[in-house]
Chain A
């Protein structure tokens, strides 16, 4: 058995924070967050793919010269802090910091460094102040296609089937486009025009960010900037430690089951262990199978992100995170396993184990902080990817989106209905009218699912019922997780409903899918997506009768459901 790997963050420059004044530090902290936001806005406004500008499937961040995270704009929490690995690998790939100069842009999309699939490509721009390398701006965004066996894959058996890999190459060298690389990208994409548009947007965004950061350093001077950044990390660390100190020391555990790996049938059990000691936390994800044959392996950067998301949601005080927030955390993984796969394990659907781990870590802490932990949500982003050729023109088209789920009930109240899973909490799904103006579909139903919320003193949030009638022949790839596991309740609350995708064919036949690539949908088929709901909190018998009656009056529950779970209200 291989040695376990401990991933942790230590202070790069001890003592530097001393002498930094708290006012300038606050001004620089705000300036970094605002600059990250400018980079984000620039990307949103210029991107070509709806998956970037509508679903916000990207991350933008600044790193300092030591590759510590200065700031990340609020986008996909799933990408929280993952860019650190990728900046390091990308810079190493081109020969280290010494090989960088003004005007360079590095392209990197190796799944083992980005943590995700090759479609998530990163652009990294080194930032200079008077010829000194002071940091990096980085953008990772989802390209519609960069090769791979299908535009979206749920059945790959190694990483090489998943897309073309750029292991850290210069796309721009001293400001000049490297056309060899550029042509390779285009030659390897099914949708080169979209990808060109997105590449331009990413480069423009990363450069906008680099200029904003350089201006900030210039305004304050490099010495003050570095001291204040050190102080800022200490501040972030203090906030998170302050929260963990309130937890009783101990080891907290939870376990769960992933539906399948997409290639081989059979559930995949795993467990998490969270050890709290003083203000430090160690998360152990070694209790899982060896890396699996299908694409649900979670590369280390995304395992790290899962831990950070869980912790930030609980302890981050609503602040935009920086490296300091992560210092109290240590992660233990086992190379060659589900949460630390090694090349060439397939990992296209890395989000499935990563998303599952987030909720499980939060659940494990329910014992330590019962007041701060909700029951399970629908637990997945329910990704659907569609494509085909238009009947009239033969033109190719493609679209894809995540879909919202019900949220778990908590000690403080009912779960919210129909929100994106927390790892993609900033994303939005597309309005039906926009879909219908663009794709050969008619949306027949977009509704909250009555009776779906897990019963409890507080009720789980409702899932979504969505029906698409397809008006032309087309293909669908389903990326659903947690179709077998019911969202758990807490403290006596009952479970909600799992996710479910049913295709109703024109001949009346129906079939359910969870992870399935390239489902053929003949014209006239109807796709029913029923997203998961939230689990309940506390025994249903303790629900306020007035709340039961209100739910009944508004039609969130039916009379039948009310009579079965809340007889005390009548």
Chain B
């Protein structure tokens, strides 16, 4: 039987759906407004609107990217606070806004080693903002009275210094009972070396009658650093409370509509987890939001043979970027969400507060600033006519003709008049405070100048983020190709190319839904890690391999527990990676290990090459192993979806007036349907498709590629 795969990604503004039908090769995309209070409603609305019943019945995998875990965490952290200071109006930390109605977050209890009750609250002593005298950390996720010490101690080498006192655990159980604790996190010092006491604590809690979920730190992370591991374990306990009911409910609703396949949930570290596993290890999903776009970029660049690609995803509230080398996702092993560290694999996607909804303002010193505050989906940019009055990036783009006036997807009507009215008030302060001399080189002024400035500053923000992800990995962005997607990504492709001196921009098919395309290509991925600090020598290799085997055994056990159907037909790939460093250094690089084949010399050579690529020099110092990582990857769909051209859209006009940034002037330009682009199309032009608009500036040429991509080339550097 031919099957379908459905991917649904819940973003801050829109819920995106992509359906891939293997029978017809068809890719169908749909967008619905996100329903923050009950995200499943938006998901189901997208399914109802875009997926025929018989397609849903044939659906083998329903891959879901969700922010439910993140929102559950935000309910527990509450808004960030800071004291009095003369912050500029409108300047806030970029970050995730709290959404939805107030719900009660899970009440979590924490069991710690005697003497370490306050680790969660003491943190590492640093401030998010080093220049904020009044900075105060968010309240700890577990209040002090629910953090209970038990007498026990394990040394850094695994030796038991003090046996566990069972009476203390029973006392903790009684307190948790009395306080109505929903879930317990257990984090004992050095448990990453020997988990015996943590396992015993869990057993004693059960014997004492505690029936809620228990998160043990060595199972959640297995890595050292007690604050980071405590934070991760507590986050797991908190989001577990919400994630299980949400996913089971969604699964039930889908099955009621005839779905019989596997519900998968995307991981922060790429790939997806099965439903049961996502319920059991929900912290692994928490940073998955921006990953799907990077994953789709990785798949696309592997298909097209692009060595270095830069994912450039411009959405309503943020710009997300990632560096993809040779089709591989850039992985990190510690993330941070709302100021809380998470020891979990995650794809290195950087987010800056520069999206279509980012608000522009003039600061008290007279400079034009853009973001990070965003008008979001509600009220949205002024041109949406939904009550937004502050000027946004979208308003500037509309004013400059970078997006055509009229309708965009989701039934929102754009008003050029409202955009201009919102931008106009900035013209005065800018001219007064800075441009006291003659007007700019082309004599532009007023609203045009403001709009152009807003777009230039937004592009510069985005370019800085790209420089961050590339330069930090020792990569020169000039040799890369930009893959531009998201609702507003294709609008910024040429601008980013000029900012970064990049000659190729690729606009993938279904550009506005490209992140969701990444979902339908996901594999099932599981991973586990253990810290093992020791010299990398001949004796180390057998130890590493034994440890890797133990980690795989654990993953296989999880696999058996959570598989909803036999996996025999699926192709399982096993990978071992080592975090290595030069002795004396702290920061590690993660290097793949070929068990059985590798010796110390070959590993050292591979590390040295990676070190040189990243830091520009080699060191003779001996290596140290820090962490062993095991990953299994179940490849679900060997046949990658073809990518047909998207459906045509009607364009009311075929010539428009738009602003050319290169010419710094208004110009007449053709408006072309994407499906109509075949031969080289010279900029300036606008290319329309249902979910995005591509802005092609003068000096750029676009061509349709057999893959369905629009390939834009820069004819000359500036």
Residues of A within 8 A of B (CB): 18-23, 25-27, 29-31, 34, 37-38, 41-42, 44-48, 50, 53-54, 74-75, 77, 193-194, 197, 200, 204, 208, 212, 231, 234-236, 238-239, 242-243, 312-321, 362, 371-372, 374, 402-404, 410-413, 416-420, 422, 425-429, 431-434, 436-437, 442-448, 464, 467, 553-556
Contact = CB atoms under 8 A, between A and B. Distances in A.
B472 A442 contact: no
Nearest to A381: B125
Contact of A428 (B121, B126, B132, B533): B126
Interface string B605-618: 00000000011110
A458 B123 CA distance: 22
22 contacts: A18-B436, A26-B369, A29-B367, A74-B130, A200-B619, A242-B86, A317-B85, A318-B87, A374-B83, A374-B134, A411-B84, A416-B136, A420-B127, A425-B131, A429-B125, A431-B124, A434-B224, A442-B161, A448-B122, A464-B122, A554-B144, A555-B144
A176 B9 CA distance: 54
Interface string B358-387: 000011111111000000000000000000
Interface string B106-148: 0000000001111101111111011111111100000111000
Contacts of A371: 84
A559 B693 CA distance: 66
B85 A235 contact: no
A217 B534 CA distance: 46
Given A18-B436, A431-B225, A204 B616 contact: yes
Given A22-B434, A426-B127, 14 more contacts: A22-B453, A25-B367, A38-B467, A38-B472, A45-B587, A313-B133, A317-B88, A372-B85, A413-B136, A420-B126, A437-B156, A437-B224, A443-B189, A445-B116
Interface residues of B, number: 84
B125 A419 contact: yes
Contact of B365 (A46, A236, A404, A555): A236
Interface centre among B365, B367, B368 (most CB of A within 10 A): B365
B149 to A, nearest CB: 9
Interface in B529-584: 533, 582, 584
Given A236-B365, A410-B84, A27 B457 contact: yes
Main secondary structure of the interface of B (DSSP, over half): loop
Contact of B464 (A30, A374, A422, A444): A30
A454 to B, nearest CB: 16
Nearest to B586: A53
B718 to A, nearest CB: 9
A197 B619 contact: yes
A30 B461 contact: yes
A23 B615 contact: no
Interface string B330-361: 00000000000000000000000000000000
Nearest to B149: A447
B627 interface: no
A404 B364 contact: no
A115 B160 CA distance: 48
B144 A447 contact: no
Interface in B287-316: none
Contacts of A431: 124, 224-228
B585 interface: yes
Contact of A425 (B84, B127, B619): B127
B434 A20 contact: yes
Contacts of B156: 433, 436-437
B281 to A, nearest CB: 22
A419 B192 CA distance: 27
Contacts of B366: 22, 235, 238
Interface string B75-87: 0000001011111
Nearest to A26: B367
Given A53-B586, A418-B125, A433-B224, A22 B435 contact: yes
B452 interface: yes
B190 A436 contact: yes
Contacts of B614: 45
Nearest to B441: A21
A45 B115 contact: no
Interface in B627-679: none
Contact of A412 (B116, B134, B153): B134
B165 to A, nearest CB: 16
Contacts of B412: none
Contacts of A38: 467-468, 471-472
A93 B123 CA distance: 43
Contacts of A555: 144-145
Given A318-B85, A318-B131, A431-B228, A436 B155 contact: yes
A374 B133 contact: yes
Contacts of A46: 585, 587, 615
Contacts of B434: 20-22, 25, 231
B257 interface: no
A433 B192 contact: yes
Nearest to B229: A433
B146 to A, nearest CB: 9
Contacts of B118: 418, 446-448
Contacts of A42: 472, 615
Contacts of A315: 86
Contacts of B144: 448, 554-556
Contact of A27 (B91, B155, B189, B460): B460
Nearest to B83: A412
A87 B107 CA distance: 54
Contacts of B91: 317-318
A320 B585 CA distance: 29
Contact of A312 (B131, B137, B153, B586): B131
A404 B471 CA distance: 33
Nearest to B119: A446
Contacts of B136: 413, 416
B619 A19 contact: no
B368 A26 contact: yes
A468 to B, nearest CB: 11
Interface in B65-102: 81, 83-88, 91
B456 interface: yes
Nearest to A33: B464
A418 B83 contact: no
B26 to A, nearest CB: 43
Given A21-B435, A428-B124, A447 B115 contact: yes
A434 B225 contact: yes
Given A200-B617, A431-B225, A446 B115 contact: yes
A422 to B, nearest CB: 6
Contacts of B85: 314, 317-318, 372
B554 to A, nearest CB: 21
Nearest to A241: B365
Nearest to B438: A19
Interface centre among B131, B137, B584 (most CB of A within 10 A): B131
B413 interface: no
B440 interface: yes
Nearest to A372: B84
Interface centre among A204, A362, A402, A419 (most CB of B within 10 A): A419
Contact of B468 (A34, A194, A200): A34
Contact of A420 (B125, B436, B584, B616): B125
A321 B436 CA distance: 25
A418 B449 CA distance: 48
B437 interface: yes
User: Top 5 closest A-B pairs, CB basis?
Assistant: A404-B125, A23-B453, A19-B437, A22-B434, A428-B124
Contacts of A236: 365
Given A433-B192, A448-B122, A204 B224 contact: no
B430 interface: yes
B127 A419 contact: yes
A460 to B, nearest CB: 13
Given A30-B460, A204-B615, A416-B137, A448 B365 contact: no
Contact of B472 (A31, A41, A444): A41
